[in-house]
Amino acid sequence: MKKRTKGEKKAQKAAEKAFEFLDPTCPRKPPKPFMIYCAKQRELGRGTGFEAEDTEFFLKEWNAAEKKVRAPFKEEAKKLKDKYSQDRKKYLAKRAGKVVPLPKPRNLPLHVREARLEKEELKRARREGDAAKKAARYAASLAASGAPSLSPSPVTASKPPVESTNESN
């Protein structure tokens, strides 16, 4: 049996994560007690309607709240976490032995595809920049050695070609 390299192991792990992200049957992690509290407050109609401002407001209340106020939310979060761990075990048992295919680029989440494109563009720009620097160094070395340049001289490049107007018939 061929031993997998570190890169292959990382690729397989990333493929499994992407597969679980895209798999609708995979159980999702449960919310924390504070997020349950925020959802309950929004259901009651409290808040401004702007999620960021609401969360900041609710956080101040949550930090100031006593343990007995927090207790029901922590219990609910614990129940959800226990249910999640059971569902997760069932999901992994059902999926055991199945080979997870490496995701094709179109199956990856949008933010992953965008990050890959940006990385490729940076590499391409770096390569093009290196090529331009090499060409400039080559031109400078030609100029220093006194060899004729391959590019047109600035004088001939700016003047249009002169046509002879010899009208002797």
Domain stop point among 103, 129, 148 = 103
Residue 46 falls inside a structural domain: yes
56 and 133 in a common domain: no
DSSP letter string over 53-107? HHHHHHHHHHHHS-HHHHHHHHHHHHHHHHHHHHHHHHHHHHHTTPPPPPPPGGG
Residue 30 falls inside a structural domain: yes
Residue 150's pLDDT band, with cuts at 50, 70 and 90, is: low
Q: Which residue has the higher pLDDT, 160 or 65?
A: 65
110 and 99 in a common domain: no
For 80-109, how does the pLDDT look when each residue is reduced to its tens digit (9 = 90+)? 999 999 998 888 888 777 766 555 556 667
78 and 21 in a common domain: yes
113 and 97 in a common domain: no
Are residues 95 and 19 in contact, defined by beta-carbon separation less than 8 angstroms?
Answer: no
Q: Which residue has the higher pLDDT, 80 or 53?
A: 80
Q: What is the mean pLDDT of residues 138-142?
A: 78
120 and 51 in a common domain: no
Tell me the residue range of the domain where 121 lies: 106-138
Residue 96 falls inside a structural domain: yes
Residue 80: which CATH number? 1.10.30
Q: Which residue from 131, 134, 30, 109 is spatially nearest to 76, judged by alpha carbons?
A: 30
131 and 50 in a common domain: no
Q: Which residue has the higher pLDDT, 127 or 30?
A: 30
- What are the b/e assignments for 25-49, b being 16+ CB within 10 Å? eebeebbebbebbbeebeeeeeeee
Rounded (10°) angle between helices 67-95 and 33-43: 110
Q: Which residue from 130, 131, 135, 162 is spatially nearest to 149, judged by alpha carbons?
A: 135
17 and 74 in a common domain: yes
Are residues 29 and 118 in contact, defined by beta-carbon separation less than 8 angstroms?
Answer: no
The model's pTM: 0.47
For 56-76, how does the pLDDT look when each residue is reduced to its tens digit (9 = 90+)? 888 899 999 898 999 999 999
Tokens of 76: 């609910």
Domain count, the chain: 2
Residue 2 falls inside a structural domain: no
99 and 125 in a common domain: no
Residue 148 is predicted with a pLDDT of 59
84 and 70 in a common domain: yes
